[in-house]
A and B are shown apart, each in its own frame.
Chain A
Amino acid sequence: MRPRVAVAAGSAIVLFAALGACGKNTGQGTATDNNRTTTGVIATDPKDSMGPAAPVPGATKGGTFYVLRQPKINHLDPQRVYSFAGLSAAPLYSRFLTTWKDDGKGHLTLVGDLATTPGKDVKGDCTTWQFTIKDGVKFEDGSPITSKEIAYGIARSFDPDLTGGPTYLQEWLANTPEYDTAWDFKANKTSLPPGLTTPDAKTLVFTFQKPHCDLPFAASLPFTAPMPPAKDTGVNYDNQPFSSGPYKITKIVPGVQMVLERNTNWDPATDPVRHQYPDSFVWSYGADATAEANRIISDSGPDASAISWDGVPSTLTAAVAGNASLKDRTLLEPTPSANRLTINMQRVTDLSIRQALNYAIDRDDLIKALGGATVASPLTTLMPPATLGYQQYDAYPAGPNGNPEKAKQLLNGRTPELVLGVADDDQDTQIGTQVKNNLEKAGFKITVKTIPQDSKLDETKKKNNPWDLYIDTWGADWPSGASILPPLFDGRTIKDEGNSDTSFMNDSAINAEFDRILAMPPAQQGPEWAKLDKRIMTQDAPAVPLYVDVAFYLHGSKAGGLFIGSVFGYPEFVNAFVKP
């Protein structure tokens, strides 16, 4: 017995010494570049929309590119794609009316994809938009893509069975949020929705009852992908979309993998952004984020030409960011996904309390609680820096750790009792603890109330929800203030359920500003949105801006041409290649 006890004790000591010997953490590391801002233009020169795309330096043809991801992509049907994984994968197998030319450093140009230009505002009032389809664009079977197939794709998105996709075009064409009752797709399969016309095979015209200056942006979403009516299999189209892009889907094993191979009928001369470097792309599902990261770190076999889609888990960031040999295999960029502590203005009606919350917040420690600089980056504005025309400001300057004294001064001896609703998952309860401790230092009394995770979004979007504070995320569909501020703060849109204006702010002066700016040409809107952002924060303080998500990805040593997209903040594959 004795020697065994000694051995056990000895090994425990050795183990502990080994833990200690892992080295001293002195706090060195690479910080995220928070100064990345987005500049964007809508291409006016038709040459910008012509192919082929500029070659990627060092890119070679051949090889198989792997993408590791835990769950499968929920929808592949372009009319239903809306998840970030889907939005990154869709350009490989489908083309849209317009698309973003993105240099991966924040410089965006909206160009025509299937169309020769990113749309022509026929009357100059944003109500009539005309697109001309390029010559030589083909489906995977070699048949030509005309305006009819694009119009059919858009018509199909009216089908209430094909849920999940964006709804901008449908709502704008039907001029009502209940677009599926305004125009019944199933009963009118051979006709087109109101306002959508195809005068000839090369022309597509949108006619709206109200001006929609953002149409060229909205047309870059996958729901403008073409589809021949004969290929429509309804809800089953998810299993085998008909390709118009540089790759076609050749094999899908549900929940295991998806294989895309070169589409020989795709003509690079027509495409301003996509390349066709790897022989094939394989999306491989199943491994969790930690397993993916460890596979990429070991960099062996097929994993050398892979990227882990789920990113570096926050618990592993210290090991990855601290490892200098991995530095040239990481992608680290702030994303446009903005997180804010929403203040329910129906409950917290006192402006000084909302301002005090803004002074009290400790963004620096909140980010540490989230997992640090490679997970989140502080934000003091409602719009993220990746918005066109963004202006940095801090309406309530309190330093990175907040200013509890200033907050107490505003509270003037009151101790507002507020309820913070958080989802009951691991990460959110932790954030709840963090925010509670933070705000209580400034004189608030915070009750953290957990909400079942699967219903949290639905519950907080209800008009009369019982909570005062909750954390919301907004990832805009295009980097314009028009897709951020009006959906989030236009009080005229408030309904009983499903609100995006979760602050329930309804300020008529601000609402009038929304209308004024939305009627301006998109190119001039940028600075106006930035001004309005500051005005909303100063006058109404409907939320506490917290942080933007930071994209932190690892890829194998043979994976090249990857960048973080400036529109969605996820890896983009249009330039991807496999190093020999």
Chain B
Amino acid sequence: MSLSPVEDIALSEFSPGTVAEPAAPGSGFVGRSPGQLAWARLRRDRVAMVSGGVLVFFFLVALAAPLIQWAYGTDPQQQFQDSLDLYGMPLGYAGGVTGSHWFGLEPSLGRDIFIRMVYGLRTSLFIALAAGVITTVIGVLAGVLAGYAGGWLDAVIGWVTDFALAMPFLIVALALVPTVSLRFYGPREAVPSSFRVAVLITVFALFGWTSAARLVRGQVVSLREREFIEAARASGVSTAHMLFRQVLPNIWAPILVSFSLAVPSYVTGEAVLSFLGVGIVDPTPDFGAMIFRSIHYLQTDPTYVFFPGVTIFILVLAFNLFGDAVRDALDPRSNR
């Protein structure tokens, strides 16, 4: 669960003081904002474009899941056990891949793998993005406060960060998740999947904000003594203005990078918890739970392992490549 902190971001490029003044008119130079420069660099990066395209595709699939279900004509809970043999294995070629079941059927329960993956993608991306946004917001707020205020507030936030970092994530999650549902739901009430999703997001939020907070605090501490901050302070602006108009706009780049690298780690983190049986549970479609079930069929139905495994691999790879590309675009000096 380590979120790669972005170090060594070249801030000079984004500080208002260093934005190059447009050169003399007529010489062919065009004035560009740092954002435009980064965008142009991203556009030139083929890996970024491909991985970005893959991500857009996955997002569209996840968003359009009900539409796909309608067009595909199969429900994620529907069982096609008539297409299974007497050992519960799918009939036909490659785990029951047919025109009506594109990725085949699950052994034993006989549910359609394709539509479950579409919905699983939805679960995965929703949890990862929500967790990413929440951890980033908490991390940025804590980091800015600690870095700008300094003193005892900085120390307290530092202790809390250290405390959260010291907790073993997996063990706490394994202990916490099952107990929480026992606390909130009676012995005869089903635990809705939305509750499990919320618990997962909360667990990620509890642990994930620390790296963003440390990153932002470092950046803010180094900005605090800069001339433009001193100028703003001299002109008597409010603290809120100082934080959100002066400081924050100058550290967007590392925040964005840390966010884009955090999301794929939540995708895998969620899959790991579901794999271990404390995340999303059957019958809610989910990649981790699906891979956990499929792994036992590696010898007898390899296609069942292949499709969810490859999809989550491509998803996480695309996120990571895109995150790297965003960092390269925002910070050309780190380019190797």
Are A27 and B86 closer than 8 Å at their CB atoms?
A: yes
A25–B94 CA distance with the chains assembled, in angstroms: 8
Are B94 and A22 closer than 8 Å at their CB atoms?
A: yes
- The interface-forming segment of B165-173, B186-194, B246-254 is B186-194
Are B109 and A434 closer than 8 Å at their CB atoms?
A: yes
Question: Scoring A residues 420 to 461 as 1 if CB is less than 8 Å from chain B, else 0, what string do you get?
Answer: 000011100110111011000000000111101000000000
Residue B91 CB within 8 A of the other chain:
yes
Given A25-B89, A437-B79, also A370-B282 (CB < 8 A): no
Chain B residues contacting A314 (CB-CB under 8 Å) are: 88, 108
Are A466 and B188 closer than 8 Å at their CB atoms?
A: yes
Given A419-B188, A467-B187, also A433-B109 (CB < 8 A): yes
Chain B residues contacting A425 (CB-CB under 8 Å) are: 277
A372–B300 CA distance with the chains assembled, in angstroms: 14
Which one of B79, B96, B108, B293 has the highest number of Cβ atoms from chain A below 10 Å of its Cβ? B108
Q: Interface size of A by Cβ–Cβ distance < 8 Å?
A: 53
Size category, B interface = 35 or more
Are B88 and A369 closer than 8 Å at their CB atoms?
A: yes
Are A369 and B109 closer than 8 Å at their CB atoms?
A: yes
A319–B191 CA distance with the chains assembled, in angstroms: 37
A316–B87 CA distance with the chains assembled, in angstroms: 9
Q: Which of B277-332 contact A (CB under 8 A)?
A: 277, 281-283, 292-293, 296-297, 299-303, 306, 310
B111's nearest neighbour on chain A, judged by CB, is: A433
B182's nearest neighbour on chain A, judged by CB, is: A452
Are A315 and B300 closer than 8 Å at their CB atoms?
A: yes
Residue B107 CB within 8 A of the other chain:
yes
A21–B303 CA distance with the chains assembled, in angstroms: 11
Are B92 and A321 closer than 8 Å at their CB atoms?
A: no
Are B277 and A426 closer than 8 Å at their CB atoms?
A: yes
A15–B303 CA distance with the chains assembled, in angstroms: 10
Least distance between A335 CB and chain B CB atoms (Å) = 18
Chain B residues contacting A447 (CB-CB under 8 Å) are: 188-190
Q: Which of B108-142 contact A (CB under 8 A)?
A: 108-110
Question: Scoring B residues 85 to 101 as 1 if CB is less than 8 Å from chain A, else 0, what string do you get?
Answer: 11111111111110000
Q: Which of A321, A429, A430, A437 contacts B108 (CB 8 A)?
A: A430
Least distance between A68 CB and chain B CB atoms (Å) = 18
Residue A373 CB within 8 A of the other chain:
yes
Q: Which of B87, B109, B189, B277 contacts A374 (CB 8 A)?
A: B87
Are A429 and B281 closer than 8 Å at their CB atoms?
A: yes
Least distance between A127 CB and chain B CB atoms (Å) = 45
Chain B residues contacting A374 (CB-CB under 8 Å) are: 87
Are A20 and B94 closer than 8 Å at their CB atoms?
A: yes
Chain A residues contacting B300 (CB-CB under 8 Å) are: 315-319
Residue B74 CB within 8 A of the other chain:
no
Are B86 and A368 closer than 8 Å at their CB atoms?
A: yes
Chain B residues contacting A452 (CB-CB under 8 Å) are: 178
Least distance between B129 CB and chain A CB atoms (Å) = 27
Are A369 and B108 closer than 8 Å at their CB atoms?
A: yes
Q: Which of A290, A315, A437 contacts B107 (CB 8 A)?
A: A315
A16–B302 CA distance with the chains assembled, in angstroms: 9
Chain A residues contacting B15 (CB-CB under 8 Å) are: none
Chain A residues contacting B93 (CB-CB under 8 Å) are: 20, 23-25
Residues of A within 8 A of B (CB): 12, 15-16, 19-20, 22-29, 31, 290, 294, 313-319, 321-322, 364-365, 367-374, 419, 424-426, 429-430, 432-434, 436-437, 447-450, 452, 466-467
A selection of 8 A-B contacts at a CB cut-off of 8 Å is: A24-B93, A25-B96, A290-B296, A315-B107, A322-B87, A368-B84, A370-B108, A371-B87
Q: Which 4 pairs between the two chains have the least Cβ-Cβ distance?
A: A372-B87, A27-B85, A315-B296, A20-B94
A28-B85, A425-B277 known, 17 other contacts, Cβ within 8 Å: A19-B303, A22-B94, A22-B302, A24-B93, A25-B90, A26-B91, A317-B300, A318-B300, A319-B300, A368-B108, A370-B108, A372-B89, A424-B178, A424-B277, A429-B282, A430-B282, A434-B109
